[in-house]
Amino acid sequence: MSEMGRLEFTTPRLAWGGEATDFTPLLAQPEMLEYLGDETGIGLLTPIEVEHSTAGNRSLDILAETADGRRVSIENQYGVGDHDHLTRGLAYAVATNSAALIVVAEDHRDEFVSVADYLNDLAGQIGTRGIRVWLIQVRAIRRQGDKVWSPEFVVHAAPNEWEAAIRRDTTAGFASLEHFYDKCADTTKPEWAETARIIMDEWLARPGATEFHGNKTQVSLYYPSPRYGPSGTNVLQVNTNGTMHVGRGNIWMSSEVYDSETEPVELDAAIRRIFPKAVWSGRNYYIRIPNPEPNKVTEFSDWLTEQFDAAVARTDA
């Protein structure tokens, strides 16, 4: 049995140098935001803008959004969390119409944790108009001998009913695809409704392809697979906010198209070739496709259909 390396810890300042020049860009990387979203329980977070300008010639460190298009303001600082970052963060959250504020610091005083708990209680009473607050402690961690430091997040304060608030503000799902298209048209990209319709019509014309619109923010597209048979594997998700996700993990790990013990080289090559602007996350389970073009979705769907059909034929044989 190989001996595990001893873990080393240090402060963000010693690991990454400048707060604005080094740590903020690191935190804004898609894989880091995905990690932060997992730790907070917010879910998938994607970046909108770094150093987002606000009134008074000030800027929010990171403006991000959830999978259903809710904005999240993120302020980070070295040292112990202070009044300035918390109050400015709340002001930025109001200015950007954010549903949540995350303050990342090396530590948080008990009085600020109490303030965050109080604000979260108030937000729970007034419903989805309230701003939920997370206070996150960060330190740098690595195995002894490694050169690269990674952040470790610890939640010090969080709302108790974020998911409940989300459920109250959304339907249990879409009553129909027309309902889904209406929701697409209600976003800041109303033209996305027609694009989503084109993608969906093409997909549903494929023999055996199905869709599921029980989710609150997306329609999931399924295709028959060796493991799940006619019920299919969830391989694409079309979101109301003008994005799409490729279910790389589903295709790789559960469809038996690929050996789950090795990286799916052909699949990854196809995604990179057809969607060069794809956003790859830390786990690479879902690959985010911003502003997908219908012809490119068709090209990928054709390729994927061939892969699945060949795998089903091998299983039947």
pLDDT averaged per 10 residues, the chain (length 317): 62 89 87 82 81 72 82 90 84 86 91 86 72 90 81 85 50 73 78 93 90 71 74 82 84 66 83 92 74 95 88 69
User: What is residue 23's three-state secondary structure?
Assistant: helix
pLDDT at 231: 67
In the chain, domain spans: 7-169, 177-316
Q: Dihedrals φ, ψ of 294, to 5°?
A: -55, -40
Structure tokens at 206: 């494929």
The dihedral over CA atoms of 248, 251, 252, 257, expressed in degrees to the nearest 10, equals -150
Tell me which residue of 121, 157, 115, 160 sits closest to 136, measured CA to CA: 157
Q: What is the CA radius of gyration of the chain?
A: 22
pLDDT at 258: 64
User: What is residue 61's three-state secondary structure?
Assistant: strand
User: What is residue 102's three-state secondary structure?
Assistant: strand
pLDDT at 257: 64
pLDDT at 2: 39
- The per-residue b/e assignment along 113-142, b for 16 or more CB within 10 angstroms, e otherwise, is eebbbebbeebbeeeeebbbbbbbbbbbeb
Query: Which CATH architecture best describes the domain 7-169?
Result: 3-Layer(aba) Sandwich (3.40)
Angstrom distance (rounded) from CA 80 to CA 87? 14
User: What is residue 188's three-state secondary structure?
Assistant: coil
Angstrom distance (rounded) from CA 138 to CA 156? 10
Taking the whole predicted model, whether its pTM rises above 0.75 is answered as no
- The per-residue b/e assignment along 259-268, b for 16 or more CB within 10 angstroms, e otherwise, is eeeeebeebb
